[in-house]
Structure 1
Amino acid sequence: MSKMYTERVRNALHGPTMGARWSALFFAPATVDPDPIRAALQAAVDEVDAQMSTWKPDSDLMRLDAAPLGEWTAVPARLGQVLRLGLEIGRASGGAFDIGMGDAVTAWGFGPATAAPDRIRAAMARTRLPAHAALEIDGDRVRKIAPVALDLNGIAKGYGVDRLAETIRDHGIGDGLVGIDGEMRALGLRPDGQAWTIAIEAPDAERRTLRSVVALENAAVATSGDYRHRVEVGRRRLSHTMDPNRGAPLAASPASVTVLARTCAEADAWATALMVLGPDEGAALARTRGLDALFLLRSKGGDCRAVGVGDVFAPLPEASSPDAKRQAWPARAEHMTGLLE
């Protein structure tokens, strides 16, 4: 009787997408050819980019954005799914997450064009309805009932991660870790039966450093911060997160907000919403919604203070130093199931 190949081989696949890189880590029998899986993963994120990019004038999102007011426009199913989720979280967050901030994003230089003072003034002066009040969706049709400039940058990347997860699952892989630019989703467990461990960065614009670790099992994590994607306007360095009330980058915000959720699209959008709301109103809403969220707040001295919401990021005991506090997280988390900070 011939010997069966039962050993599982580590596969680490990656490729370009949305101005960043996607990655997929999984273990499969040695007989599994990773090349078709790699091609399917690339096709999955390419589809998301083709439908939802604001950098591609011919994307389905930009076609909808350019449609006349009141005219129904057919959209692909995946774009419709993301639009619905974006509007749902927009309503639930009181407009803090708003997929209708495309004009402000472009004006301030976070899109294909550089920042422009005339567009900045127009974006800040504009009287706007939130996207959940400006869009109607009926099946596979969408129409604008009020002026709105669409932008899915706060949710499309997370949705791309979800598509990576669905793709490896469609290839019979039940355990793996996929991500795009730090937004991650875990399926099942590692071969040793442990959860997948993900680093949460310290909010440092100059270098990538570890703040803490989260371990995921069948869950996703996303972080919104003021330190990675920024633009210089005059002498000011501004975060990419827009304040829907001002049509401008947030004037004051947490250094970062990390959210755990069932899907990465949800985690991505809620991280943005809580960033906009800030540590007080945002933490209150997170508690009401049952979200696991970690707010990192800068002090005047430059250190960061953590405010945790939910079972995973529950408040820590007082520690004498930032290093001692970081060491306290894993000890507390050993008693948690599935998720750990």
Structure 2
Amino acid sequence: MKQAMLAGLIALMVGAGAAAAATTWETGGKTMGTWYQVKVAYTPDQALDGLKNEIEQGLAQDNTLLSTWRPDSTLSRFNGYAGTQAQPIPEGMALVIRTALQVAEKTQGAMDITVGPLVNLWGFGPGGVPTHTPDAAAIAAARQQVGWRHLHLSERDGKAWLQKDLPSLYVDLSTVGEGYAADRLAALMARHGITNYLVSVGGAVVTRGKSASGQPWKVAIQQPTDKQTRIEAIVDLQGHGISTAGSYRNYYQRDGRRLSHIIDPASGQPISHHLVSATVIANTALQADAWDTGLMVLGPERAKALALREGLAVYLIIASDNGFISWQSPAFARYLVGATAH
């Protein structure tokens, strides 16, 4: 069995048997500050000429739309606008923001795409790690610039409009951009009539059909350790999207604390509970990508309660004094095909 690393997930490729009628075509590279991967199980009558170029063009378009690192992106131009009048935005950007705001409502603001000032304050933005832990005054000042309820999405005249009632509001879509890009890759496959594929961008994955071996694509959830090949559970997505968020990779140590890149908007500080990984399977990778971050902020007990209330397919990994404890929602069970006993 071969495996390919994703962020928090592992794509498992069972070796093709002698009777397999398909071959695997694959490509990958860097995008959005992470890695993408595309695998297609194809037969000799399928023409894939030019597919790699279309993939890269599509990902470049996504980056031009959603990047906060590019000053010329659509999102950066909106962030740079210091007014409160509604601005027209492309439908793709509207879809991402609409999904994020819906999850923000469900999570009572745990998922907040305006949390950027706090992320930057704690050293997980372009400015790098601060020399000192932010004090209460700095945190309070940053929190005054944060709040998803200051962002308003509307539609009129067949167009999407985005408005901020706080001129300095800064929108960061990095928590959901990977899911959006993965869904766009899946849509590209569909336009080409490709029905057997696995696509991933960072920690977001979408699969359809079967691998070249004739078996369903399988994706493994990694154990939250520095050993990236440790497998926690294996799932068959059955045509859905999956995304994992975790606090165990992007962090630094300061003043005896392990500071995660996942910031709780309510406290203005990095999360400090024992939930270290949240995986969500949903109809789209974008939806899964929005939910996993919100669940990570909520922590284990509130995340469990929300998953049950909303009927979400969720797999949580929680740190304890005796190692890791896993929890899965009833809706997740239908996708599970293998698990590691603790």
Structure-2 residue corresponding to 1:167:
188
What is the DSSP-based 3-state SS (H/G/I as helix, E as strand, rest coil) of the residue aligned with 1:34? coil
Letter in 2 for 1:150: V
Within the candidate set 309, 325, 330, 1:310 is matched to 330
Q: What is the letter of the counterpart of residue 130 of structure 1?
A: G
In structure 2, the residue matched to 1:209 is 230
Is residue 141 of structure 1 aligned with residue 161 of structure 2?
yes
Once superposed, what is the RMSD of the aligned Cα atoms? Answer: 2.5
3-state SS, counterpart of residue 155 of structure 1: helix
Match of 2:86 among 47, 56, 72: 72
On the 8 A contact 2:281/2:314 being kept in 1, the answer is yes
Aligned-partner Cα distance in 1 for 2:237–2:54: 24
Contact in 2 for aligned 1:115/1:233 (Cα 8 Å): no
Q: 1:187 aligned to 2:208?
A: yes
Which residue identity is paired with 1:197? K
Work out the percentage of aligned pairs sharing the same amino acid. Answer: 29
Deviation at 1:76?
Answer: 1.9
- Where in structure 2 are the equivalents of 1:1-40 lying within 5 Å? 7-40=21-54
| Aligned match of 2:6 | none
Q: Which of the two has greater strand per residue?
A: 2
Q: Deviations over 1:150-174 (max 9, x none)?
A: 1112111111111111111111101
Structure 2 counterpart of 1:95: 109
Which letter does structure 2 place at the counterpart of 1:73? Q
Give the CA deviation at 1:231. 3.4
The residue number in structure 2 matching 1:3 is none
Instruction: Supply the AA of the counterpart residue of 2:324.
Output: C
Name 1:131's counterpart in structure 2.
148
Q: How far, CA to CA, are the matches of 1:149 and 1:235 in structure 2? A: 30
Take 2:160 and 2:89, find their aligned partners in 1: how far apart are those partners?
A: 6
Closer, same or farther in 2 for the Cα pair 1:39/1:233, shift >3 Å?
farther
Q: Secondary structure at the match of 1:305?
A: strand
Question: Which stretches in structure 2 are left out of the alignment for 5+ residues?
Answer: 1-19
Aligned partner of 1:105 in structure 2 is 119
TM-score by length of 1: 0.84
Aligned CA distance change for structure 1 residues 118 and 134 (closer, same or farther; 3 Å): farther
Residue in 2 that maps onto 1:221: 242
Q: Which amino acid aligns with 2:244?
A: T
1:201–1:208 CA contact under 8 A, matched in 2:
yes
What amino acid does structure 2 have at the position aligned with 1:194?
A: Q
Greater Cα shift, 198-207 or 155-164: 198-207
CA distance in 1, matches of 2:134, 2:171: 16
1:49 aligns with 2:66: no
- In the alignment, structure 1 residue 283 sits paired with structure 2 residue 304: yes
- The answer to whether the 8 A contact 2:119-2:261 is kept is yes
Deviation at 1:242, TM superposition (A): 1.2
Secondary structure of the structure 1 residue equivalent to 2:289: helix
Query: How far 1:118 moved relative to its partner?
Result: 8.6
Greater RCO, 1 or 2 (C-alpha within 8 Å, sep 6+): 2
Gaps of 5+ in 1: 1-5, 317-323, 329-341
